[in-house]
Structure 1
Amino acid sequence: MSSFPSFLLLIIFVASAAVIWGAGTKLSDYTDVLAERLHLGKALGGVVLLAVATNLPEIAITVSAALSGHVEIAVGNLLGGIALQTVVLVALDAFGVRSGKPLTYMAASLTLVLEAALVIAVLMVVIAGTQLPAHLIALRLTPGPVIIVIFWVIGLKLIGGPGSQLPWGDSGEAPGSQEKPRGHARTAKEHDATARHISTIKAATVFGIAALLTLIAGVTIERSGESFFGNLGLSGILFGATVLAAATSLPELSTGLTAARSGDYKLAMGDIFGGNAFLPVLFLLVTLISGKAVLPHAQTSDIYLTALGGLLTLIYLAGLVFRPQRQILRMGIDSLAVIALYILGVIGLISLQ
């Protein structure tokens, strides 16, 4: 697409973002319907299905960038995506919560604390992987991405198993948090689909079409955006970490707002943490496709973005523990701290360029 005129590249980029918003939202909705009807629940298979479906734009961009040799865009999108999707929680706090209390107060539970801790743990493995020698590669695999996958799987098993029945009062649920159980918004989607006489076959068909459209849009948004914003002087890393990450976070924003407005605050936060914990797993895909030791060749900005994503997650983890009740501009103090830190983080990222 590098030979296309700038106005056409911009049209393709905006159109691709619109498709990701629409098709990605449908994809997430029908993933919930299928997960309920197939009784996947909190099983590992269901968690993996949800993680893959909600991150299809990132998967498409990762594959496209790796195949085209622009590994830095894939890395920037994955690590920048974690930071930006954490900032999505700010929007959910400001526009999704209707209880008069901050998001972390209403969603507080030890299970969410563990999910946030898993995100931070995986990001620490990413940083450790950048320090390993690049020659440690066999069968197109390197230690860093393999260990990330192992941490992710073990973390999911712990959270979905012992983590769902913690030996704490009220099973780790904070007093005064949401009254209905986590996941009731997902169940409501399935009941709505049943009321509209949407069969499982139709749901699977819509799921497949939405997945295909999301994958295609993920490729076109990466190719058109890289050319258009590259012409404006935006580096691949900065583009992937900001503009591209924002565009691919649109489905999470839409579905998160839907869950929050229905009072399922724990599901809204859990989906964001779950997606963020899954994104580093895609480094295994980048390594397999490129045949290169990606993490040992990480740039300073990549490590910077990893630390930023971990710090933003840590703020919300603290919010879940301390449960601040004060709101400013309809947001909790933790959300204000997150948006302030993210702005400072982007300024720092620009200075690194």
Structure 2
Amino acid sequence: MELLIHNYLNSFSTLLLVLVIAAMLYILSKGADILVEEAVSLSLHLGVPKAIIGATIVSLGTTLPEATVSVLAAINGNPDLALGNAIGSIIADTGLILGIAALIGELPVDRLVVERQGKIQILCGFLLAVVCLPFLSGGKGNISQWVGGLFLILLAFYLYISMKWTKTSDGENVSEESIKEEETDTFVEEKRPIYFQLLKLAVGIALVIASSKILIPAVQITAIRIGIPQSIIAATLIAFGTSLPELVTAVTAVRKGHGELAIGNIVGADILNVLFVVGSAAAVTSGGLNVPSNFYKLQIPAMLIILLFFRFFSANGKKEEISKKEGLLLFINYILYVILNFTWR
């Protein structure tokens, strides 16, 4: 099937391929949106606390595009696309998305998120950088299959501890009035039969997988034609496209006065990009994920720099929000990263 799709897309003009990529990125993000919406709707229908669903399924849903693209790329023998997409998504989430969110509205800092998930976020970034080092794999950068399996075990532990933190959290409780308000906003979803909700959930998953199967070969062909390495395309265009769910969530949350949700979603997404996206992509390939040499010059350092910037801005105990100036610095960091990708070969 993949070969048929590749051969068919290869007959398209470059302009048409660019349009196909744009369309698939759009479908990819919409599929993830449907998945997240139906997961939350199911939580209401089944009586599972939405706080737990938000801390786990929502983050998993918004990172599903990255995971799907990376796993399929790894299976098809394109590890640089898989790893570049994961690292690029962390950079886009933390630099571009939080930067924009801080610029367009208030971005309050949730102390519990910063002290718990925030520490895991920065540790995951450094863990990924360490396992990419050449001396750990005989002189050539490689994230082995067993490391991918270890990441998935850490993912399971992270999800478990997140649920436990949610249940024991001393944070603000949701009033009955706000619950009724939320239920009013989603009364259509709640009153639908559960089998219809499950069907829409399956449609969302199918859209993500199907669009990814078309997106990967379209990007490969386009990258070859215009002479840009796949790793760079993965870390910029694809990473931005697969980060659209996080971008839409963050912008919507800020515009509605719930900026703390944007920070929580991005912190969770960064963690999952390491443990879920890289872990699953490495685990499905016997040879693991090879790390292109250019990643040591730009991709990995840029990821660590942006994560450290965000950690510095958010971990200050005296701070109540990420300021617009700090948001601008995060945004500028992302723009510089994109520019360097296309000028520093």
Q: Same fold (TM over 0.5)?
A: yes
Deviations 1:6-56 (A, max 9, x none): 132122112112212333222222222223433444798875433332222
The match for 1:212 is 206
State the distance in 2 between where 1:301 and 1:52 align.
26
Aligned-residue offset at 1:75: 0.8
State the distance in 2 between where 1:189 and 1:57 align.
27
CA-based RMSD of the aligned residues comes to 3.4
State the distance in 2 between where 1:156 and 1:289 align.
21
Query: Are 1:285 and 2:280 matched, yes or no?
Result: yes
Point out the more displaced range, 252-261 or 152-161. Answer: 152-161
Aligned-residue offset at 1:319: 2.5
The match for 1:272 is 266
Residues 112 and 266 of structure 1 are in contact (CA less than 8 Å); yes or no, is this contact kept in structure 2? no
The match for 2:63 is 55
Query: Are 1:68 and 2:69 matched, yes or no?
Result: no
Residues 116 and 273 of structure 1 are in contact (CA less than 8 Å); yes or no, is this contact kept in structure 2? yes
Aligned-residue offset at 1:325: 7.3
Aligned-residue offset at 1:236: 0.6
The match for 1:193 is 186
Aligned-residue offset at 1:163: 7.8
3-state SS of the aligned residue for 2:284? helix
Aligned-residue offset at 1:190: 5.0
State the distance in 1 between where 2:259 and 2:335 align.
25
3-state SS of the aligned residue for 2:116? helix
Aligned-residue offset at 1:133: 3.9
More helix by share: 2
Residue 306 and residue 181 in structure 1: after superposition, are their counterparts in 2 closer, same or farther (change >3 A)?
A: farther
Query: Are 1:245 and 2:239 matched, yes or no?
Result: yes
Residues 115 and 274 of structure 1 are in contact (CA less than 8 Å); yes or no, is this contact kept in structure 2? yes
Aligned-residue offset at 1:211: 1.5
Residues 76 and 240 of structure 1 are in contact (CA less than 8 Å); yes or no, is this contact kept in structure 2? yes
Query: Are 1:123 and 2:125 matched, yes or no?
Result: yes
1:162-173 maps to which residues of 2 (within 5 A)?
Answer: 171=170
Aligned-residue offset at 1:188: 5.9
Residue 141 and residue 348 in structure 1: after superposition, are their counterparts in 2 closer, same or farther (change >3 A)?
A: closer
State the distance in 1 between where 2:240 and 2:187 align.
33
Residues 32 and 245 of structure 2 are in contact (CA less than 8 Å); yes or no, is this contact kept in structure 1? yes
State the distance in 2 between where 1:41 and 1:234 align.
46
Aligned-residue offset at 1:268: 1.8
The match for 2:37 is 29
The match for 1:301 is 295
- The TM-score normalised by the length of structure 1 is 0.79
The match for 2:87 is 79
Deviations 1:140-191 (A, max 9, x none): 964533443344444444454358757xxxx5x6xxxxx8859x99996654
Residues 38 and 201 of structure 2 are in contact (CA less than 8 Å); yes or no, is this contact kept in structure 1? yes
Query: Are 1:256 and 2:259 matched, yes or no?
Result: no
State the distance in 2 between where 1:187 and 1:349 align.
48
The match for 2:6 is none
Query: Are 1:92 and 2:101 matched, yes or no?
Result: yes
The match for 2:3 is none
- The TM-score normalised by the length of structure 2 is 0.81
Aligned-residue offset at 1:72: 0.6
3-state SS of the aligned residue for 2:137? coil
Identity of aligned residues (%): 19
Gap runs ≥5 in structure 2: 1-8
One-letter amino acid matched to 1:248: T
State the distance in 2 between where 1:309 and 1:219 align.
27
State the distance in 2 between where 1:27 and 1:291 align.
30
Residue 212 and residue 284 in structure 1: after superposition, are their counterparts in 2 closer, same or farther (change >3 A)?
A: same
Residue 261 and residue 201 in structure 1: after superposition, are their counterparts in 2 closer, same or farther (change >3 A)?
A: farther
Aligned-residue offset at 1:129: 1.0
State the distance in 2 between where 1:186 and 1:119 align.
30
Deviations 1:56-113 (A, max 9, x none): 2212211221122111111101111110011211222233x3xxxx41xx23323234
The match for 2:326 is 334
Point out the more displaced range, 232-241 or 265-274. Answer: 265-274
The match for 1:149 is 152
Number of residue pairs the alignment of both structures matches? 328
Residues 130 and 298 of structure 1 are in contact (CA less than 8 Å); yes or no, is this contact kept in structure 2? no
Deviations 1:188-219 (A, max 9, x none): 66542225633333222212111211221122
Aligned-residue offset at 1:254: 1.5
Query: Are 1:226 and 2:235 matched, yes or no?
Result: no
Residue 38 and residue 134 in structure 1: after superposition, are their counterparts in 2 closer, same or farther (change >3 A)?
A: farther
3-state SS of the aligned residue for 1:4? coil
Residues 20 and 217 of structure 1 are in contact (CA less than 8 Å); yes or no, is this contact kept in structure 2? yes
One-letter amino acid matched to 2:151: I
3-state SS of the aligned residue for 2:287? coil
Aligned-residue offset at 1:126: 1.2
Q: In structure 1, which of residues 324, 343, 347 is the aligned counterpart of residue 339 of structure 2?
A: 347
The match for 2:4 is none
